[in-house]
Amino acid sequence: MKQKATITILLAFFSISGLFSQQLYVGNNAEFFVASGTLFTTSNTVVTTGTTGIFSVGAGSNWGSSQEYVDGKVTGYGTGITKLPIGNNSIYAPVTADHTGTVEGIYYNATPFTGTLGTNIDAKSDIEYWELTGNATITLPWDSHSDMTTLVNNNGGSINSIAVVGLNGSTWNLVSAPQTNTVTGNLTQGNVTTDSAVKVNLNGFSQFTFGIDHQVVLDVDNLLLNKDIVLLNNPVQANTDILFRTSNITDNLNVTLFDIEGRTLQKHTAIKLDGGVGTIPNTNLSSGIYVLKFEHEGKLGIKKIIIQ
């Protein structure tokens, strides 16, 4: 039977308003609870837990830092905006949850399940992931370890396309509707928050990580070339080349074709234009969704193409 505050501590003492400890370990079938507002420190050490040990906090808790966090599962009780101070293998990756009822989280500094990408995702991170349960709007943080520069620049170049994605079965999907995630910061340090108006049923996903919202890539990047590039045959029939028309562009147009997972399939430099019409060969392309990236004199445009 689980006993709250049945713990192994190398050094600890309690006071009315605070708790101070060093090298805190929460053993199996035990729980260590920190109420919101409690003065608590681990003296710059990381809390660890047994397989069934639980470190828990009250709703509204903001405890945790890059020196003091939990390498294991954290439970947040009640309803409110709560920081789950989790990390793993020297990486601090706290989740902020605006939750209704109990929420739980654990972070892994490890490669998430590969799976397949849903229709509205252009790519996902292969560096880290979280496991979360409950009902909440969540905020996931990144730093240089997350390598968001590669994820974003290889998939349209828009930081606002970063979104929270979740693994449902073997498919990665957006956990909120397209274009509803909120991004703050830069590619080196920042965070992304799911739709603030609609809490996510976290139980519907087994893993969470960063992904690229396909609709944001289209809407944001196409502003640069939306009037200059028009696809003439979309969807494209099998064995039929991809045709597009340009306006105000006569030369020096580069085109790259990607599959839905962000892999480069074709790259064309200074593509030939005949009366403003360009052709991209449909060579051994199976049916599915692809992405075309157009580059001209520092401007960038992204178009989605469907091969039937």
> Could you report the per-residue pLDDT of 140-191, keeping only the tens digit for each?
999 999 999 999 888 877 888 999 999 999 999 999 988 899 999 999 999 9
For the residues 37-61, what does the mean pLDDT come to?
94
221 vs 40, more confident: 40
- CA distances (Å), 298 to each of 236, 271, 273, 279, 293, in order? 28, 16, 19, 21, 12
Domain 226-307 in CATH 3.50.50.60? The answer is no
Confidence of residue 11 (pLDDT cuts 50, 70, 90): very low
Looking at the chain, the domain(s) classified CATH 2.60.40.1930 span 226-307
Q: In terms of Cα–Cα distance, which of 162, 152, 155, 168 is closest to 113?
A: 168
Report whether 36 contacts 18 (CB < 8 A). Answer: no
pLDDT (0 to 100) of residue 218: 58
Q: In terms of Cα–Cα distance, which of 234, 243, 256 is closest to 157?
A: 256
Please check the confidence at residue 7 and state whether its pLDDT lies above 60. no
pLDDT (0 to 100) of residue 179: 84
Report whether 175 contacts 165 (CB < 8 A). Answer: yes
**Rounded CA gap, 208 and 132, in Å?**
8
Residues 202-242: tens digit of each pLDDT: 999 999 999 999 877 655 444 445 567 888 988 988 888 99
User: What contacts 250, CB < 8 A, 6 or more positions away?
Assistant: 273, 276
pLDDT (0 to 100) of residue 6: 35
Please check the confidence at residue 77 and state whether its pLDDT lies above 70. yes
- Dihedral sign for Cα 47, 52, 57, 59, please: positive
Report whether 254 contacts 295 (CB < 8 A). Answer: yes
Report whether 156 contacts 302 (CB < 8 A). Answer: yes
Please check the confidence at residue 103 and state whether its pLDDT lies above 50. yes
